[in-house]
Amino acid sequence: NGCDPSQQLTTVHVDGTYELSFDIMPKGTINAWTNIIHMGNSDADRLPAMWFYANTYRLHIRAGTEDSYNNGCDPSQQLVANKLNHVKMQVTWTTLTIWYDGKQVSQCSISGHRTGDFKFYASNPWYTAANADIKHIEYHTSSTAGTPFPTTTPTAFPTPSPTPYPTTTPTA
């Protein structure tokens, strides 16, 4: 229920390509940048991170890279207040794509992905928490160990049968 300030959910491994989705119900605007989700060990780790612009339900979506911690896309469409909106982002080796309720709303080119283990926050400790409820967070990497690019044989993304997050038992 809601974004509790600085609520670290877990630590995740980012291997360069991933998909993140969740349901969010915005409940009120705030006169400041407000954080929704953040994967990173500092504000400069945005793998990814999402905020609402001040006084709006417009998302500021970042997928930090080696080139810039602030690479990302900002869809012009705003989320609908007091309604459950489904947000999905997919980071491949070349693009960041955003969907709202199954409809693509933004895509931008990115490269130079960062990898490593990062804290996963529902609202980070560096910004005001968004006034919103978040449910059904799912995060999937393209592979557990990471696949060198380019591959000699194509690797499906997303995987045909992704593992739900959080898992109930350890995965191999």
Query: Tell me, what's the pLDDT at 112?
Result: 86
Is residue 48's pLDDT more than 80? yes
Is residue 169's pLDDT more than 80? no
The answer to whether 130 and 28 are in contact (CB under 8 A) is: no
Distances (CA, A) of 48 to 4, 115, 170: 18, 12, 24
Q: pLDDT higher for 14 or 22? A: 22
Give me the chain's average pLDDT, please.
Answer: 84
Instruction: Give pTM, 2 decimals.
Output: 0.78
Position 115 confidence tier, pLDDT thresholds 50, 70, 90: confident
CA proximity to 20, closest of 94, 68, 92: 92
Render the burial of 59-96: b for 16+ CB within 10 Å, e for the rest: bbbbbbbeeebebbbebeebbeeeeebbbbbbbbbeeb
Query: Tell me, what's the pLDDT at 145?
Result: 38
Is residue 31's pLDDT more than 90? yes
The answer to whether 165 and 70 are in contact (CB under 8 A) is: no
Is residue 144's pLDDT more than 70? no
pLDDT per position as a tens digit, 63-114: 988 889 899 999 999 999 999 999 999 999 899 999 999 999 999 999 888 8
Is residue 59's pLDDT more than 90? yes
Average pLDDT over residues 52-70: 94
Position 149 confidence tier, pLDDT thresholds 50, 70, 90: very low
Query: Tell me, what's the pLDDT at 141?
Result: 84
Average pLDDT over residues 151-156: 49
Is residue 30's pLDDT more than 50? yes
